[in-house]
Amino acid sequence: MNYKDTLNYLFSQLPMYQRTGAAAYKKDIGNIVQACEILDNPHEKFKSIHIAGTNGKGSTAHMIASVLQEAGFKTGLYTSPHLKDFRERIRINERMISKKEVIDFVNENKIEFEKIKMSFFEYTVAMAFNYFSKSNVDIAIIETGLGGRLDSTNIIRPELSIITNIGFDHTNLLGNTLEEIAKEKAGIIKEKTPVIIGRRQEETKNIFKKIANKKNSSIYFAQNKNYLSNNLSINYQTENINTMIAALEILNWKIDNHHISEGLNNIHKNTGLQGRWQTLGKSPLTICDTGHNIDGIKNVIQEINNITFNKLHFVFGTVNDKDTNKILALLPKEAKYYFCAAKIDRALDATELKNKSAEFNLKGDSFNSVKEAYQESISQAEQDDLIFIGGSTFVVAEVL
């Protein structure tokens, strides 16, 4: 198979949660255990940091990876989902895994992996672990997919674990209360392994303390350091920066303030971070963000409220398994909306989204594609207006 054929195999023939939803979610980690046994357990051959949480885990992972790079460490980074290129998921320092590495891995393991019916996510986790092991990374930063306890990444034995925060997302799989979701995320806490909690929340703090105590693991709650960078100066990244600094302090790997400053300021170059309050244009000001659940949308609205503009143009799409009503209730009613659906099976139909939105006094038109909605917003906006694109990671991906 060439690279195109390989991607088609991964995307089209393997169950993929981001595209098809709950049907692709497996409630055990048996497959990744078997896959790693086939690969001679590569996850046991490199140091790691494991990150779970409802929001901010991707940003925190990219921050830590960037700072460690600046400090001279060969750093692996595994995140999901990707925005434009599958290879974004697996990086060492600033470089994505090569197309040849992807092709070779699939060709070499396809027959054995088909016997155990691997999912898309399991396949990519195994690929990442194998690549990091072969490349002799000093450390790898591993972001969970969703949850924690039953996530395919949860076979690693990290130097430390991080749980950024707990909010309502994937409730059909993880639970309907913050306490239930916290228990799933807390599944990444390992025996005698320190854990950092990014946000102290009354509903969840005792759950984390109890599980950490049971595992004989030290638990730390990130403190406010008031540290901002040129490239990550928006308010909602402050919590992630605090979490990152706490992690580096616990890791204790000869990292100083210069490395932190350079890591944050060079994060886009070092790790390819995209889609987090990213400016796409300045006249009119055009911004996209991948925030897609209740907490993420609240952060987006807070940032929009900090900007001075004349009229707000909101390119918006979501998926069909979110609590859409709670999200729509948060959106600004004075905006002009451009409703759209990303090119995935889970996308909520744009006309249906428009009709639901009308119940919340959100006014606008529906469009046949994200591209069409985005282009219309550009044609309608004046220079002193604001265009925002979001609601779904996949909507953002299609405008980048």
- At 171-190, the pLDDT tens digits run 555 667 888 888 889 999 99
Measured between alpha carbons, how far is residue 363 from residues 82, 167, 313, 331 in Å? 31, 28, 11, 11
Q: Report the alpha-carbon angle 93-99-102, nearest 5.
A: 90
Residue 170 binned pLDDT confidence (cut-offs 50, 70, 90) = low
Residue 230 binned pLDDT confidence (cut-offs 50, 70, 90) = low
**In this predicted structure, what is the pLDDT of residue 119?**
86
Question: Which residues fall within 8 angstroms of residue 317, CB to CB, at 6 or more apart?
Answer: 339, 340, 341, 342, 347, 348, 350, 353, 370, 373, 391, 392, 394, 395
In this structure, are residues 116 and 37 in contact, taking their beta carbons and an 8 Å threshold? no
pLDDT at residue 59 tops 90: yes
Q: How far apart are CA 286 and CA 284, in angstroms?
A: 6
**Percentage of residues in the chain with pLDDT exceeding 90?**
75
Mean pLDDT over each residue of the chain, to the nearest integer = 91
Neighbours of 68 (CB within 10 A): 28
Decide the pairing of beta strands 336-339 and 386-390. Answer: unpaired
Q: What is the pLDDT of residues 350-389, one digit of tens each?
A: 999 999 999 999 999 999 999 999 999 999 999 999 999 9
Residue 391 falls in which region: left (phi positive, over 0), alpha (psi -120 to 50) or beta: left
pLDDT at residue 77 tops 80: yes
Q: How far apart are CA 364 and CA 337, in angstroms?
A: 4
pLDDT at residue 229 tops 70: no
**In this predicted structure, what is the pLDDT of residue 292?**
86
Residue 55 binned pLDDT confidence (cut-offs 50, 70, 90) = confident
Q: pTM here?
A: 0.91
Record the tokens describing residue 9, joined without a space: 């195999």
Beta bridge partners of 92: 76, 95
Residue 234 binned pLDDT confidence (cut-offs 50, 70, 90) = low
Tell me which of 46 and 231 has the higher pLDDT.
Answer: 46
Mean pLDDT to the nearest integer, 283-307: 93
Decide the pairing of beta strands 195-197 and 219-221. Answer: parallel
Residue 233 binned pLDDT confidence (cut-offs 50, 70, 90) = low
**Percentage of residues in the chain with pLDDT exceeding 70?**
91
**In this predicted structure, what is the pLDDT of residue 172?**
54
pLDDT at residue 21 tops 70: no
Domains and CATH numbers, the chain: 3-271 (3.40.1190.10), 278-399 (3.90.190.20)
Mean pLDDT to the nearest integer, 152-169: 90
Residue 256 binned pLDDT confidence (cut-offs 50, 70, 90) = very high
In this structure, are residues 338 and 377 in contact, taking their beta carbons and an 8 Å threshold? yes
Tell me which of 16 and 99 has the higher pLDDT.
Answer: 99
